[in-house]
Every structure is written in structure tokens, then in C-alpha cells.
Amino acid sequence: MEEYVNKGIKEIIDEFPEVEDILNDYDIGCGPCNVGICLLKDIVTIHQLPEDQERQLMARIAKAIHPEQDIRIPRAEKKTAAKPEGLKYSPPMKKLVDEHVLIKRWIALIPEVVKNLDVESEEGRRLILDGIDMIRSYADKYHHAKEEDILFKYFDEEADIIKVMHEDHTRGRALVKEMLAALEKRDAKTIAANLMAYRELLTEHIRKEDEILYPWMDNQLSTHQVGELFAQFDEVDRQIDVSPGKYEALINQLEKKIEKQQG
Amino acid sequence: MNKFEGCPGSRMMDFNRTDEDNTGPAVGKIKSQLTQWPIQMHLINPSAPYYQGADVLLTADCVAYALGDFHREYLKDKSIAIACPKLDQGQDVYLEKIKAWIDDAKINTLTILIMQVPCCMGLLNLARQSADGAKRKVPIKYVVVGVQGEILQEEWGAA
């Protein structure tokens, strides 16, 4: 079979006419083609059949070529249209959307963190500081800085939608500042209130960005600008002294801890 | 498709256009947006100055004939190469040239324009394979053009 995979289809059909009918069954009409130089392997690849259909097609061709061999023909599932799979966002916007995932995982944990808030013990205060560090370093410095220093500059920063995003970032920073001051005073009530306010703020902020702002921006950006943004985000990631892996490990650890607490 | 229709890439079709189909807004002579030569993938040098940091268009041969507004909508401000994934020989060279665009010429973006016929997916697969093997990552957009010049799909792919 191996030698036929790299042969021109016309040659195969001439030798095994049944192959033409088999290909027709999968809407691959090579028979009438006057050229016929496409290799069998390329024909199978470029028609992008679903995996099960491709397996079935190849098994049927193999059986036509080697009828003496016992070749099992798998059953194919329902056919799906073959087309390239695209992204909902351009690559730089997709990067920002992907960065939201870790932030969303953190804010999902906030109610449990608040429930068990401990400002007295070293361990309790460490947990609060780690959470605040996640907000300041990952969400703000690593993520929001890409928006404020790069992305928003491509648009009219006086536009209402951009102003709202800036206001959300400013509000988030103010909440963090208050939390740090409250931790100094071991004021659990203020920390809890601010963590919950931050959760509410960021939940809505991320929803606005993922569903409204980024798709709108993608529609405005030229292909050239998308390339520029992608390169600039990449440069920030290489230069910045924030390690996303550190915060992913922190969230993993916290999720496990909370899962354990919940039994 | 029945068995008499043959390969969608070479099947005969008559669009029966009428004069009414030619009532678009374009009037007068349309200026070419081509800014380089050569353009055929075997002939181009991927490190030519016009590819450095450029937004590059890799287009299946048939696209420019099918797409009425090709120059203004797609070619403008871009560098180009053309290829036919069905008929061109020695496409291994293409893999290396695309990789050289990404890694050496440090192109800004790569846009792949293909026809809707299945064999054109070969060009997209080739570009993806090259991009996967490159050290740098660049945004890749693909555009699928119908045989009557309509845009069937225009999306960004994974960088």
C-alpha cells in the first residue's frame, strides 16, 4: 500500500478502476481529471475528510489494491464540512483573551478565600499577599499594561468604551491599595469587601472586553496593525519581569487547597 | 456532487454573467497595486528587500482572476508570491521559502488566499506546516474565495 500512497491518482485508477468509484463515494471526483498527477496521499489530505471517513476511504482503497489481504473497513460517522478552522479573535486579541483565563480562575476562588479570611496568622496574611500580588503583577502589570501602553494607543483614547476600560483599571488599583492598607491594620472586613468588589469589577470588565471591546477592535484593525500588535505583545512578554508560570502555579495550589477544604 | 462532475478543482462551469453583473462602482482605469517582481513562488527570493518586515500575501494562482477587487482589497500595501498547490512541482522549496519569510525576513503577517476548491487547501496546509517549523511566530490570516469571486471565509488562524 505504501508505494501507492505516493503514486499519481490516474496511474492508480488505470491499474485499479474500482478506486474511481470509491473516491466518488467521498465526493472526490478524480476520474474525469485530465491531469491526474495528484498523489493519493495529497488527495486524501486536501479533501480534509473527517478522521473516521479518511480511515474508511484508505481501508477501502487498500482492499481494492490488495483484495487478498484481510483489511477491516471501519464504519464512518456522519460527514462534516471540510473547511479551515478559524479563530474568533486575531492572534494578539486571542492572547489577551487567553490571559483572562487565569484571572477568571483567581476571581472564581475569591468567595472561598473571603470565607476563610485570616489576617492574624502568618499563613493567612501570606495568602492575602499572594492574591494581591497576582492582581498587581499578573492582572495589572502583565495584562493591563499591554492594553494601556500598546493596544489602546491604536484607538481614540477619548472614546467612551476605552475610557470605561481605563476607569475599571483605575478602580481595580484603588481597591488593591485599600486592601494593602487594611492588611497593615489587620482589618479583615475591608479586605473581604474589597476582594468581593474586585471580583465583581473584573468579572464584568472581562466580559465587556471578550464580548464587546476585542471583537470591535478586531474589526477596526488593519492586517498590518494586527501584526504590529502581535510583535509588541511578544516583546513585552520577553522583557517583562513577571512570570505567568508562577501565578498559574499559585492558582493551581489555591484551587487544590480549596477543593480539599470543601472535601 | 455525482461521479460525472469530477474534481471540483477542474470541473467545467459557466457562470452566465449578464451586463447587469457589471454595474459595480469601479469606473475608469484601476491602478495596479503590485510593487515587486518576480511573484511566482519558485522565482522569488524570500530575503528580497520587499519581504523584510512586510505583510505578505501568498495567493493561489487562480485567486487574482476570480476576485474582482483583488488589487485594491488584498494586494495593496502587501508583498506577494503566487503558487498552485495542485500543479506546481517541487513544493518542498516552498516550505523552506515560507519559513525563511518568517524567520529571516521577519515578515509582519502572512495572508493566504485560496480558492474554495479542495486542492487549494494544500497551500494552506503547506503554509501551516512551514509556520509550525519556524522559530518565530506571526499572525496568519486565510481567505477562501469562491469561484465566482465571493469571499466565503476570512479569518485569523493560530499564530
pLDDT in tens, B109-124: 999 999 998 888 889 9
Please say whether the dihedral angle defined by the alpha carbons of residues A227, A233, A237 and A238, taken in this order, is positive or negative.
Answer: positive
| A80 within a domain of the structure (yes/no) | no
Question: A226 in a domain, yes or no?
Answer: yes
| Residue A44 is assigned to a structural domain of this protein | yes
d(CA B68, CA B47): 30
Do A254 and A166 lie in one domain? The reply is yes
Decide if pLDDT at A77 tops 70: no
A114 lies in the same domain as A199: yes
* Residue B2 confidence class, pLDDT cut points 50, 70, 90: very low
Residue A135 has pLDDT above 90, yes or no: yes
Residue B16, pLDDT above cutoff 70: yes
Q: Which residues of A touch B121 (CB under 8 A)?
A: 45-48, 82, 84
Q: What pLDDT, in 10s, does the model give residues B129-142?
A: 999 999 999 999 99
Q: What is the pLDDT of residue A153?
A: 96
Whether B138 and chain A come into contact, CB under 8 Å, resolves to: yes
Q: Do A135 and A211 reside in the same domain of the chain?
A: yes
Tell which of A65, A80, A115 closes a domain.
A65
pLDDT at B121: 87
Q: Is A228 in the same domain as A193?
A: yes
Asked if A137 and A14 sit in the same domain, the reply is: no
d(CA A120, CA A117): 9
Would you state the pLDDT for residue A241? Answer: 85
Per-residue exposure over B122-157, b if at least 16 CB sit within 10 Å of its own CB, e if not: bbbbbbbebbeebeeebbbbbbbbebeeeeeeebbb
Q: Please check whether residue A106 lies inside any domain of the structure.
A: yes
- What pTM did the predictor assign? 0.81
- Mean pLDDT over A203-222 rounds to 94
Confidence of residue A81 (pLDDT cuts 50, 70, 90): very low
For residue A159, give the CATH number of its domain.
1.20.120.520
Q: Given the C-alpha cell 498552485, which residue does it identify?
A: B84
- Picking from A223, A228, A230, A234 by the largest number of B CB atoms within 10 A of its own CB, the best residue to mutate is A223
For residue A29, the chain B residues in CB contact (below 8 A) are 1, 3, 5-8, 11
Whether a cis peptide bond, with omega within 30° of 0, leads into A215 is no
Rg (CA), chain B: 16
- The DSSP code for B30 is P
Asked if residue A152 and residue A42 are part of one domain, the reply reads no
**Count of domains observed in chain A:** 2
A217-256: buried (b, 16+ CB within 10 Å) or exposed (e) per residue? bbeebebebbbbbbbbbbeeeeeeebebeebeebbeebee
pLDDT digits (tens, 9 = 90+) for B78-105: 999 999 998 899 999 999 999 999 999 9
Instruction: Please list the residues that pair with B114 across neighbouring strands.
Output: B144
Percent of chain A with pLDDT strictly greater than 70: 94
The answer to whether residues A48 and A158 belong to one domain is: no
Tell me the H-state helices in A66-159: 91-115, 122-133, 145-149
What residue ranges define each of the domains in chain B, with the CATH number in brackets?
A: 31-157 (3.40.50)
Does residue A189 share a domain with residue A112?
Answer: yes
Longest Cα–Cα distance in chain A? 87
Give the Å distances, CA to CA, from A75 to A43, A47, A56, A82: 21, 19, 7, 19
Altogether, the residues listed in chain B come to a count of 159
Residues A166 and A207 in one domain: yes
Q: Give the whole-angstrom CA distance, residue A136 versus residue A182.
A: 16
Cα four-point dihedral sign B30, B35, B41, B42: positive
> What pLDDT score was predicted for residue A87?
67
Chain A CB contacts of B111 under 8 Å are 223
- For chain A, give the mean pLDDT: 88
- Cell 476585542 identifies what position? A214
Please check the confidence at residue A107 and state whether its pLDDT lies above 90: yes
Closest alpha carbon within chain B to A34:
B10
Q: Which residue in chain B is spatially nearest to A26 when comparing CA positions? A: B1
Q: Count of CB atoms within 10 A of residue B82's CB?
A: 21
Task: Let me know: does B1 contact A27? Beta carbons within 8 Å.
Answer: yes
Residue A72 lies in a domain: no
Quick one: pLDDT at residue B142? Answer: 94
Whether residues A151 and A34 share a domain: the answer is no
In chain B, residues with a C-beta closer than 8 Å to the C-beta of A33 are 6-7, 10
Q: Do A54 and A149 belong to one domain?
A: no
Q: Say what the pLDDT of residue A10 is.
A: 85
> Per mean pLDDT, which range of A117-121, A175-179, B133-137 is the poorest?
A117-121
Is the model's pLDDT at B125 over the cut of 60?
A: yes
Q: What is the mean pLDDT of residues A181-193?
A: 94
Question: Pairing between strand B55-60 and B109-115?
Answer: parallel
Let me know if residue A59 belongs to a domain.
yes
What was the pLDDT predicted at B25?
A: 67
- Whether A59 and A108 map to the same domain: the answer is no
Shortest Cα–Cα distance, A199 to chain B (Å): 30
Q: What average pLDDT does range A218-236 have in this prediction?
A: 96
Q: CB A84 to CB B157 under 8 A? A: yes
Domain that holds residue A21: 2-65
The CATH number that applies at residue A43 is 1.10.3910
pLDDT tier, A39 (very low <50, low <70, confident <90, very high otherwise): confident
User: Is the pLDDT confidence value at B3 over 80?
Assistant: no
pLDDT in tens, B42-91: 999 999 999 999 999 999 999 999 999 999 999 999 999 999 998 899 99
* pLDDT band at A80; cut points 50, 70, 90: very low
pLDDT category of residue B5 using cuts at 50, 70 and 90: low
User: Is residue A84 one of the residues assigned to a domain?
Assistant: no
pLDDT bucket at A85, cuts 50 / 70 / 90: low
Chain B: closest CA distance from residue A22 (Å): 10
Interface pTM (ipTM) of the complex? 0.87
If contacts are CB pairs under 8 Å, which of residues 8-37 in chain B contact chain A? 8, 10-11
Residues composing chain A: 263
Q: A31 vs B10: CB contact, 8 Å cut-off?
A: no
- Which residues of chain A lie closer than 8 angstroms to B108, CB-CB? 224, 227-228, 231
On the question of pLDDT at A98 being above 80, the answer is: yes
